[in-house]
Structure 1
Amino acid sequence: MSTTPRPTPASRQDVTLRRALGLPSLVLFGLAYLVPLTVFTTYGIVTQETGGRVALAYCVTTFAMIFTAFSYARMVRAFPVAGSAYTYSQRTFGSHAGFLTGWSLMLDYLFLPMINYLVIGIYMEAQFPAVPLWVWVVLAIALVTVLNVVGITSIARASSIIIAVQAVFIVVFVALALRAAGGVETVVNPFVGDGSVEGIGPVLAGAAILCLSFLGFDAVSTMAEEARDPRRDIPRAILLVTVAGGVMFVLLSSVAQLAAPATTFADPDSATLDVMAAVSGSWLGTFFTAAYVAGCIGSALTSQASVTRIMYVMGRDGVLPRPLALLSRRWRTPVVAIVLVSVISLLATVISLDLLASVVSFGALAAFSTVNLAVVKHYVVDEGRRAGADLVRYLVMPLVGFAMSVWLWTSLSGQSLRLGLIWLAVGIAYLAWLTRGFRRPPPEMDFAEADVESGMAR
């Protein structure tokens, strides 16, 4: 008998996303998405960019992300449905702005799985040179696709195991790195660098690239229709993931720089293997590869789950093709969207890591900027919350987050800005076609109906 899942329309009330995630599962989902070891994804690239000031760049990014995380937490309390920044922008600024925000958000969500697959290929090929990179990429895509189709509970279980493996590695690495740092003759301060690159500009450029490290908190918001208590648990999970991620990134980048003070590498994409060799020889490099590949699998699982939920909501609204909103009756997952993302992810075999990282950050910062402004519009303008404490929560803090996001956004490389603006131009052209020259609004979902169907009590 065939076990192939039979898609059914998402509008059917008997086929909905499964509410199965509590606070611990949401936090693990977010941590698995951002990957605690993701600090090593762009370590070589940002080390060269900043002259050894990766930790300082992470401090800048963490500061900006905390303000934006507060904005996400406040918006998910107002609109506890799937869709993340797309939903928040649509409800506050209208359907046209919502579409363009969702379109920008899809840029980083579509490219983030590619980063994970490419990094898996890079490190597995370094470990097993006889097997080409593309083979590892295809195998990883196949595994992640199957697990995503099977459902959200399988992702939650896998996230727990993957985070445990990375936690063990982090403890071992920090201990060995601190020991190795004691024998280093020339110390490079991770907040000052080696002096080869001067000024704050390179630090901001590095911080802009590092925004991709924090997409875990944004991803948590896309699970609103699969959380048991989204208004309470998702805001908490967003803040916990952001703070925990920032602390881990600063710690790991600092001890790595202290133990291995090099600021230039023959291959920046795999510079971490040089760091591991300096810390404790080849065996730690092997351990790192195992833990890191496991983390990338976890991040690919959660990032694919997140982007397919955004595509599911936009397909459900009719602003993307409606087949993207088809759910499997057996597993209650958006199988069409999952398969489409897997096919797109095959581009990981032909795109460079530094370009992927910059483009992902473009989409993320565009969405972050919009969510910060959405807080001001929803709470201060629409709801009239203008008391003293409310002005701090709903005006000052989101405006600081907006300013920081724009600051980092303008610090991206010219190439990533051009590609991001091309993507946005394509979205505007599609929106013009969809709305017959902006003469009518894009299709919208009835959110009141959605909340009733998902069991929410306003």
Structure 2
Amino acid sequence: MTQENQVSATPAAGGARLSRTLGLWNLIIIGMVIIQPTAPMGIYGVISNKAHGHVVTTILLAMVAMLFTAISYGRMARVYPSAGSAYTYVGQEIHSAAGYIVGWGMVMDYLLNPLICTAFCAKAAMNILPGPSYYVWILVFAAFFTWTNLRGIQTSAQMNEALCAGMVLVVLLFLGVVARWLWHTHHDPGFYTRPFYEPQTFHPAGIFAGTSVAVLTYIGFDAVSTLSEEVRNPRRNILLATVLVCLITGVLSGVEVYAAQLVWGSAPFSSEHVESAFAIISRQVGGRVLFQIINFTLLIANMGSGMGSQLAAGRLLYGMGRGNALPASFFGAIDPKRHIPRNNIFAVGAFALVGAAVLEFFSGRLGGGAYEIGAEALNFGAFIAFMGVNAAAFMHYVGREKRRSPGFWLVPILGFVICGFIWIHLSKPALILGSVWMTVGIVYGAIRTKGFRSELVRFDLPPEEAQP
């Protein structure tokens, strides 16, 4: 690899730049770890109850739905290979103020994800080693996530590869145990088609309700686009990685829930067991050993997601800092030695630590409600970004380039409509929390621009790396 390929992104504070060292496979692995190969396990019970057992059907329908938005992300990354992701796409194609609003919504999403993962990992670790308190564990995990991301982008990529490999091995173990269980219990070929369609329990309304939850399996694929300035040949690799992450997640998740559904069928889960539904199924086919393995794997999965989301959050804040949407002297600075946005990594780690402590304080007083609201509030900012990217893709390819083939106008329209429908059907507390966050951002922008009379942001694009 040439020196020019290694370091050829937009100069930041002190002339330092992000380093182009990632390939297509690195992007796919980072995306998979942020989403988690075990993504459907945590929400399996909820989907099953809503869809009357047709979990695999809803997972595959959700994959098709999210592919529309993934294609829009990949196409816009070809036009604007920037760490700012949706913030840059919307700001360039629609309006700088719209880009700022989308970016502010993304900040909420990207800050809450490491926070939620830190809190989840602390709770899971307490089940394995109950000695240290919750507050000790959140300090351990927040520090570990931050240390890993401060080591540089290649260290983060290698760590993600190891975590992804471990999670995939556990998924394969689960599938193997289920296959052995089925070999001794079921021999009727018709039995194996019931997860896709069982006439007695198939209801369109239930399928639709389940699909709206199953979409959560794919949240996080957009983080790939925030690494546009650290990947070789971004115009090709970002598009491929974004779409492939969605496809691989859909296929792997579909296989996981198909196997689980063969074991459990369409029977509903009780309210006290809905969150641990997948682990309960694991215990049914593999005993307590597999039950504990699945629990431990969910801890590892959230560790990977926490590290990956902190990595992406640092790049988003860098893109906004460089564009002056946030104070450039802090958020737009690049460490000259490791070529990473060091200040942002520290800031996200500190936010996750303090936020996880505050979350525990309020969860104890609200019966766990604060944790659930925080987890769902992730989607408030995510779907604002998804709608914005679909709108930007339509404006660029249909409005500016005048492309009239259905692939260029139908894909972003469908992506926008689907994401908009999901967004307005978030829970009321999540909508209120998201609205407060957006109000704070708009007020901040108005103050900085004296009522939006002056330019708030600029969108400096990185130079292209030398092509082989």
Shorter-chain TM-score: which interval? 0.7 to 0.9
Q: Which of 344, 350, 366 is the aligned partner of 1:343? A: 350
Instruction: State the identity as a percent.
Output: 31
Deviation at 1:51, TM superposition (A): 4.4
Shift in alpha-carbon separation, 1:11–1:405, aligned structure 2, 3 A: same
Shift in alpha-carbon separation, 1:235–1:428, aligned structure 2, 3 A: same
2 CA distance for matches of 1:273 and 1:43?
Answer: 10
1 CA distance for matches of 2:453 and 2:57?
Answer: 48
Segments of 5+ residues of structure 1 without an aligned counterpart are: 1-8
Segments of 5+ residues of structure 2 without an aligned counterpart are: 1-9, 364-369
Give 2:239's aligned amino acid.
Answer: P
Deviation at 1:327, TM superposition (A): 1.8
Q: Which of 318, 324, 327 is the aligned partner of 1:318? A: 324
Map Cα deviations across residues 58-109 of structure 1 (whole Å, 9 max, x no partner).
Answer: 2332121011111111100000111111110011012100000111112221
Deviation at 1:136, TM superposition (A): 2.8
**Equivalent in the alignment of 1:420:** 434
Equivalent runs, 1:306-455 vs 2, <5 Å: 306-322=312-328, 323-346=330-353, 347-349=355-357, 350=359, 352-386=370-404, 391-447=405-461, 450-451=462-463, 455=465
The answer as to whether partners of 1:50 and 1:193 remain within 8 angstroms in 2 is no
Shift in alpha-carbon separation, 1:148–1:93, aligned structure 2, 3 A: same
The answer as to whether partners of 1:148 and 1:305 remain within 8 angstroms in 2 is yes
Q: Name whichever of 395-404 and 127-136 sits farther off.
A: 127-136
Deviation at 1:45, TM superposition (A): 3.9
* 1:282 maps to 2:288: yes
Shift in alpha-carbon separation, 1:195–1:17, aligned structure 2, 3 A: farther
Deviation at 1:286, TM superposition (A): 2.6
The answer as to whether partners of 1:325 and 1:334 remain within 8 angstroms in 2 is yes
The answer as to whether partners of 2:28 and 2:244 remain within 8 angstroms in 1 is yes
2 CA distance for matches of 1:131 and 1:275?
Answer: 30
Equivalent runs, 1:133-148 vs 2, <5 Å: 133-148=134-149
Equivalent runs, 1:226-305 vs 2, <5 Å: 226-261=230-265, 262-305=268-311
Give 1:336's aligned amino acid.
Answer: N
1 CA distance for matches of 2:386 and 2:107?
Answer: 13
The answer as to whether partners of 1:177 and 1:279 remain within 8 angstroms in 2 is yes
Deviation at 1:148, TM superposition (A): 0.5
Map Cα deviations across residues 423-450 of structure 1 (whole Å, 9 max, x no partner).
Answer: 2222222222222112122131333xx3
1 CA distance for matches of 2:118 and 2:352?
Answer: 8
Deviation at 1:155, TM superposition (A): 0.9
**Equivalent in the alignment of 1:107:** 108
Give 2:82's aligned amino acid.
Answer: V
Equivalent runs, 1:81-120 vs 2, <5 Å: 81-120=82-121
Map Cα deviations across residues 259-294 of structure 1 (whole Å, 9 max, x no partner).
Answer: 235522525444433232222111112322333322
Map Cα deviations across residues 290-313 of structure 1 (whole Å, 9 max, x no partner).
Answer: 333222222111111111101011
1 CA distance for matches of 2:438 and 2:372?
Answer: 20
Shift in alpha-carbon separation, 1:81–1:200, aligned structure 2, 3 A: same
2 CA distance for matches of 1:217 and 1:421?
Answer: 24
The answer as to whether partners of 1:83 and 1:222 remain within 8 angstroms in 2 is yes
Shift in alpha-carbon separation, 1:218–1:303, aligned structure 2, 3 A: same
2 CA distance for matches of 1:78 and 1:278?
Answer: 50
Q: Name whichever of 342-351 and 43-52 sits farther off.
A: 43-52
3-state DSSP of counterpart to 2:114: helix
Map Cα deviations across residues 2-59 of structure 1 (whole Å, 9 max, x no partner).
Answer: xxxxxxx963474111100011111111111111012123333444454444333323
2 CA distance for matches of 1:279 and 1:128?
Answer: 26
TM-score, normalised relative to structure 2: 0.86
Shift in alpha-carbon separation, 1:442–1:292, aligned structure 2, 3 A: same
The answer as to whether partners of 2:13 and 2:332 remain within 8 angstroms in 1 is no
1 CA distance for matches of 2:213 and 2:448?
Answer: 33
2 CA distance for matches of 1:190 and 1:410?
Answer: 29
Map Cα deviations across residues 188-208 of structure 1 (whole Å, 9 max, x no partner).
Answer: 955568989x96556545444
The answer as to whether partners of 2:56 and 2:254 remain within 8 angstroms in 1 is yes
* 1:221 maps to 2:225: yes
The answer as to whether partners of 1:212 and 1:360 remain within 8 angstroms in 2 is no
The answer as to whether partners of 2:27 and 2:241 remain within 8 angstroms in 1 is yes
Give 1:369's aligned amino acid.
Answer: M
